Amino acid sequence: METLCSLGRDLVRNKKTIDKQRRILNKIKENRRKNNSVQSLPRNNKSPTYNIKKVANNLSNNNSLKNIKNNIVFKKNSVNKKINFIMTGIYYSNVVETMMKPIVKHLKEYETSNITKDNCINVHFFNEHSHLKNTGLNGINVMIPHGLADKAWRNATKENQFDYVTASSDLWKDILVQRGIKSNKIIVCGYPKIDLFYDIEKKENNKKTVLWCPTHNTNLKNLNCTSSNPGFRKFIKSIPDKYNFIEHVHPYNHTEHNATCEDLVNSDVIISDFSSMIYEGIIIGKPVIFPDWIVKNVILSHYKNTVEGKMYIENIGLHANDIDELLIHIENAIKDGLDQKTKDFAEQILPTKFRGKSGKYIAEFLMSI
């Protein structure tokens, strides 16, 4: 009996000692945390988890549940890693700059490089094998698409190589999941390039401006392709002088490789085919006309199940079967503006809550990793 009592007293003393040690350790940890003298390090090489909290925005103006989704707040991690933007070749250098600019304005520091680094969050704008062969996949890797066009280029084989991939909307997330991309990799946080359009003031012009901005064509001798360049070129002379007609072909086919933000803002009507300019145009309220007689058959033959295929099948935007119909569409588009069907579609591609704010959301996400 005495032995049991002694054992009991020992257990109590041990428990008190353990509790005292635990309190001391907790106090040390708390002091370290306050002084920022020690930061915890990840215990393994697995992709880091992220925390997203949906919060109410402007509830004083509108108490509807929709407002709960207006902002996304990313919880900042205790370990700060450098953010490394991966640069690319000459054809797309300006495109990368237009993607980076809205993000980096919200970062205290960042770096750029042609390769990925172990101690960095490496941000890519391309997923092609030729790109990754040169850059590697060291460290943590985030894929932000350099354009909004579908073209079926974001598939599971390519995208699942990254730790995270971004999507401009819930619709785009659903599309990526359907293509086999892991849902927990996908972060819905907008499309940064659009932010730039809201900082550009439209120039006054006595004439209404019609902008032709086709997608790239790797072989300008090939007319049977998804680009209206050069197929549409012979019809340019049919556009009346009462319009200010300008063309801005894809950086791949443009000697100066300029981005087209200013041209898009200054335009009143856009003519395009299979390009991200389609989406960027309708998002900022520009009517888009498709030269179906040049590209529709090829697009539906090869890309029927893409978002662009949907636009051609369901006549989202203005679709012309010949140059005469295109001229009628120009006249009506200038008079009527963007139709409601196309506005609703644009909202699915990039919700209003991200327009002009995507760079901030993406920066917050990168800093949360």
- In a domain? residue 51: no
Q: Is the pLDDT of residue 269 over 90?
A: yes
pLDDT at 227: 92
- Average pLDDT rounded to a whole number, residues 72-98: 76
Which of 261, 250, 189 has its CA nearest to residue 214? 250
C-alpha 84/C-alpha 61 separation (Å) is 39
User: Which residue in the block uniquely carries the two structure tokens 């970062």?
Assistant: 107
- In a domain? residue 325: yes
Q: What is the tens place of the pLDDT at every residue in 316-349?
A: 999 999 999 999 999 999 999 999 999 999 999 9
Q: Are 246 and 309 members of one domain?
A: yes
- In a domain? residue 186: yes
Q: Are 211 and 180 members of one domain?
A: no
The domain of 332 spans 197-349
Q: Are 343 and 205 members of one domain?
A: yes
- In a domain? residue 361: yes
Which of 193, 226, 212 has its CA nearest to residue 350? 193
Q: Are 167 and 266 members of one domain?
A: no
Residue 146 belongs to domain with CATH number: 3.40.50.11820
Q: Are 204 and 345 members of one domain?
A: yes
Tokens of 62: 């509108």
- Average pLDDT rounded to a whole number, residues 114-132: 95
DSSP 200-241: -PPPP-SSEEEEE-----S-TT--SSS--TTTTGGGGGGS-T
Q: Is the pLDDT of residue 183 over 60?
A: yes
| Cβ contact 148:169 at 8 Å | no
31-40, 227-236, 348-357: range with highest mean pLDDT: 348-357
pLDDT at 169: 98
- In a domain? residue 69: no
Q: Is the pLDDT of residue 315 over 80?
A: yes
Q: Is the pLDDT of residue 185 over 50?
A: yes
- In a domain? residue 303: yes
Q: Are 156 and 297 members of one domain?
A: no
- For residue 229, the SS3 value is coil
Residue 337 belongs to domain with CATH number: 3.40.50.12580
Residue with more model confidence, 237 or 253: 237
> What percent of the chain shows pLDDT beyond 90?
66
Q: Are 209 and 176 members of one domain?
A: no
C-alpha 94/C-alpha 87 separation (Å) is 10
C-alpha 59/C-alpha 96 separation (Å) is 36
Q: Are 237 and 324 members of one domain?
A: yes
Q: Which of 244-248, 321-325, 364-368 has the lowest mean pLDDT?
A: 244-248
Q: Are 179 and 242 members of one domain?
A: no
- What band does 56 get if pLDDT is binned at 50, 70 and 90? very low
Tally of domains in the chain: 2
- In a domain? residue 75: no
Q: Are 127 and 170 members of one domain?
A: yes
Q: Are 224 and 277 members of one domain?
A: yes
pLDDT at 73: 61
Q: Are 142 and 156 members of one domain?
A: yes
- In a domain? residue 363: yes
C-alpha 213/C-alpha 253 separation (Å) is 11
pLDDT at 257: 47
Q: Which of 102-111, 210-219, 355-364 has the lowest mean pLDDT?
A: 210-219
Q: Which of 29-38, 239-248, 290-299, 328-337 has the lowest mean pLDDT?
A: 29-38
DSSP state of 92: G
- Average pLDDT rounded to a whole number, residues 102-131: 96
Q: Share the mean pLDDT of the chain.
A: 82
